[in-house]
């Protein structure tokens, strides 16, 4: 499941430089080729030896830049080699140089000698970040389609100040790098509004007991990250789950829910605003017929639990779908995954469906990886080999772009539940 690619890390002079050691290590372990450039300022905080060890390749400094030991100029070689360039931490000084096209060291010369996408992760004191000149430079660089941004966030800074300017964490930087390797920096979903559901709903018997499922929402998180990295805005309707990886993203609106009824109401409210709706949540099929407002004593628990069906959210959305909208479902299956997914695709009048196994190693609920078969309403199928959920998310978004939008279907209502 290794993801090939070539990533050049540009590390500048800030205390947050230490975070990039984790980024370098994770990229190298995933099979990606990694190189690092350290500015003179960066070497006041971290050493070239650290990054040469983690990257499995000598780290570059300005000393290398000014030594004529290369057959070709070093900044040209590195600029042509890189598929993604990451500058983190991005200081106010380096930001100003990028805005004005200045090139006075190896890193800034390499930026000008390259054409690959550049990911920027700013880090500085709050007062520095909020300076009018810095904000002007930041807004200007963000208008350049070559540059992509991650962070900054708010929190406790190295100066003990609490405020904006904290560099994004590695678990936010790494997915963006992987996305840029896939898209080559294209924002092909710019202007699109995606509605994504994620996590497993809980159908309560009382305030502490519920019928649930093992869904962690990781696939929905990956879909949200992939869509935002490609320029979309996202409304994420989620059941109880960990949301830290997307909570700080400016382009996502989080709608928390617990039960299938709550998720249904939220999805119905936001569906008219969506171009695509991707139903990655594991929604209950049934719920207890009654729910106590107080915890039931153990002795009062019924020997048999009366159940009633949960409304079919995907089928209800398909009846409301407009010609420009696309509705995509998920089918988590064991054994034969294609046949039941085809049935679900046709029965719910979906535009496409992702059938993924839950009985295979490193796939399905709770896993960081997945595999699937994508199917659209015209019978097109695409098998996805085991890969990270972020890679699968990008492949699904690629697949959906080739799906034709269809008019809203006309069919009788259904009350069957779903588990997608």
Catalytic residue numbers?
159
The helix (run of H) or strand (run of E) holding residue 228 is helix 218-229
The helix (run of H) or strand (run of E) holding residue 11 is strand 6-11
- End-to-end CA separation in angstroms for the chain: 24
Strand partners, 355: 331, 373
SS3 content of the chain, % helix, strand, coil (to 5): 35, 25, 40
Please state at what angle helix 260-270 crosses helix 313-320, rounded to 10 degrees: 20
Closest by CA position to 272, among listed 408, 70, 132: 408
Q: CA dihedral in degrees (180, 183, 184, 190; nearest 10)?
A: -90
Closest by CA position to 315, among listed 293, 345, 342: 345
Neighbours of 290 (CB within 10 A): 11
Give the C-alpha distances (Å, rounded to integers) separating 347 from 183, 313, 402, 409, 415: 33, 13, 21, 11, 12
């Amino acid at each position: 499941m290794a993801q090939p690619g070539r990533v050049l890390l540009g590390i500048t002079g800030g205390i947050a430089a230490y975070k990039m050691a984790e980024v370098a290590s994770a990229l190298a372990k995933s099979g990606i080729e990694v190189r690092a450039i350290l500015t003179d300022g960066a070497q006041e905080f971290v050493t070239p030896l650290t990054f040469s060890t983690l990257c499995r390749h000598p780290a570059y400094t300005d000393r290398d830049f000014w030594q004529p030991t290369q057959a070709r100029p070093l900044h040209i070689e590195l600029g042509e080699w890189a598929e993604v360039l990451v500058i983190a931490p991005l200081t106010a000084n380096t930001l100003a140089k990028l805005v004005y096209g200045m090139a006075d060291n190896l890193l800034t010369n390499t930026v000008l000698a390259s054409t690959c996408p550049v990911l920027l992760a700013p880090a500085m004191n709050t007062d520095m970040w909020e300076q009018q000149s810095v904000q002007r430079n930041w807004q200007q660089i963000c208008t350049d389609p070559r540059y992509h941004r991650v962070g900054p966030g708010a929190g406790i800074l190295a100066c003990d100040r609490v405020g904006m300017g904290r560099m994004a964490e590695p678990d936010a930087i790494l997915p963006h790098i992987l996305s840029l390797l896939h898209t080559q920096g294209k924002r092909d979903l710019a202007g699109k509004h995606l509605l994504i559901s994620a996590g497993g709903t809980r159908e309560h018997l009382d305030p502490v007991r519920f019928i649930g499922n093992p869904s962690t929402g990781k696939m929905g998180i990956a879909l949200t990250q992939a869509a935002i990295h490609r320029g979309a805005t996202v409304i994420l309707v989620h059941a109880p789950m960990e949301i830290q990886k997307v909570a700080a993203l400016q382009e996502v609106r989080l709608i928390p829910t617990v039960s299938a009824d709550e998720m249904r109401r939220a999805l119905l409210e936001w569906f008219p605003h969506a171009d695509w709706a991707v139903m990655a949540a594991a929604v209950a099929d049934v719920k207890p017929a009654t729910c106590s407002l107080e915890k039931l004593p153990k002795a009062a628990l019924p020997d048999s639990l009366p159940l009633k069906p949960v409304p079919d959210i995907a089928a209800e959305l398909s009846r409301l779908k407009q010609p420009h909208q696309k509705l995509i479902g998920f089918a988590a299956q064991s054994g034969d995954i294609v046949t039941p997914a085809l049935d679900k695709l046709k029965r719910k009048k979906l535009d496409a469906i992702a059938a993924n196994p839950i009985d295979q190693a490193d796939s399905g609920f709770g896993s960081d990886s997945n595999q699937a078969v994508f199917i659209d309403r015209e019978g097109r199928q695409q098998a996805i080999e085991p890969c990270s959920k972020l890679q699968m998310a990008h492949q699904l978004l690629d697949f959906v772009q080739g799906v034709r939008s269809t008019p809203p279907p006309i069919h009788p209502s259904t009350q069957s539940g779903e588990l997608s």
